[in-house]
Amino acid sequence: MIRVFKAAHVFDGWALHRNAAVSVTANGEIAALHLEGGIPPGGAEVTDFGAGILAPGFVDLQVNGGDGVMVGPDTDTAQLARICAAHMRLGATAILPTLISDTPETTRRVIEAGIAAARQNLPGFAGLHLEGPHLDPARKGAHDPAFLRPMTESDLDLLCAAAQKLPALLVTLAPESATLDQIAALSRAGVIVSLGHSDCSAEQARAAHAAGARCVTHLYNAMGALANRSPGLVGAALTTPFVAGIIADGVHVAPECLQVALAMKSADTLFLVSDAMAVAGSSADQFTLNGRRILRRQNRLTLEDGTLAGADISLPQSVRHLVGLGVDTTRALAMASRIPADIIHAQDRGRMTPGARADFVVLTPDLELTATCRSGALASE
């Protein structure tokens, strides 16, 4: 039987529609978007969310952990399922579990777990993000410097092979730690190459873009500052057609810098990431990362020396933060849904179009998350 979901506003991935509805097939796909109060005739079960906003489920391309666990040496499909379920409750119906720089053995294990998760069609699993270990030690952030190293041919072979077996594979690397030929080979193999944790020059970043790099990881963070004669990765990200993730938590990026990025980047080239850690979806006040204690204090996650170590925010909260700074609601919602879905070539996510997955979030008029739907069913059902 067709199910229908209606609300005062429905966001289709591009625009907000007043008094609209979405019909969903029995197999959990969107049948149609119905504008201006239109409801398909005949026996549909209607769920009315009243004054709320119905939007596509959010897509988070940088999720290091959740519900008390981190992606790491112990990762298996059960842990990936736990992380995906935690973020489903937080409004992200599709995520890329993200491995922070680790050993070759751990990297291989996480890839194997991801491939198994893909074969099982694990709910919420959209691929993997490997953030490192091919980063610049000068911009290590919370990454353990003992794990950072240049890319080898063995690494390249592993990543290229993994890209053929995963729904999506995003790899963050520094141009200083990979050659242009390696970046080109990754891109040809289907890897989404993202630049980050780097002190590279703007020229190096543009050369990496020409070789196939398409993304920048958590813009402004773990990279050299924009300077008058040394624009660096920030300057290249703002003036080159990279897509860039950004953490909108009021901690990682100052409001003025957010406004600069929003003004400089075209509407479809800036997207939100949570950079969530193990404490996401839990009340824990600390956890460990590669044997180091991470503290959760005043909406911050830090090493004991104060170094930021991921973020303590969900994508709905990030959307609210942007709108509070004056960003148009449609742009903020797109940055959490359609745009990241497009980056990983998941055209069945992040939008309300026929044939797309019926994964939704329900928000109050002031953008508080109230419900999540997966395949046309409320998470509580």
Catalytic residues: 275
Distance from C-alpha of 346 to C-alpha of 42, rounded to nearest angstrom = 32
Distances (CA, A) of 230 to 201, 217, 234, 252, 261: 7, 19, 10, 22, 17
Task: Sort strands 92-100 and 192-195 into parallel, antiparallel or unpaired.
Answer: unpaired
Instruction: Give 112-166 as a 3 state SS string.
Output: HHHHHHHHCCCCCECCEEEECCCCCHHHCCCCCHHHCCCCCHHHHHHHHHHHCCC
Question: Which segments of the chain does DSSP mark as H helices, in order?
Answer: 77-89, 104-119, 153-163, 180-188, 202-211, 232-239, 255-264, 315-324, 329-336, 338-343
Q: What angle do CA 249, 129, 259 make, to 5 degrees?
A: 30
SS3 88: helix
Q: What angle do CA 154, 157, 161 make, to 5 degrees?
A: 145
Contact 287, 277 (CB under 8 A): yes
Rg (CA), the chain: 20
Distances (CA, A) of 253 to 62, 311, 314: 16, 11, 15
**Burial track 346-372 (b if 16+ CB lie within 10 A, e otherwise):** beebbbbbeebbbbbbbbeeebebebb
Backbone angles phi, psi at 163, to 5 degrees: -60, -25
For the chain, the first-to-last Cα distance in angstroms comes to 16
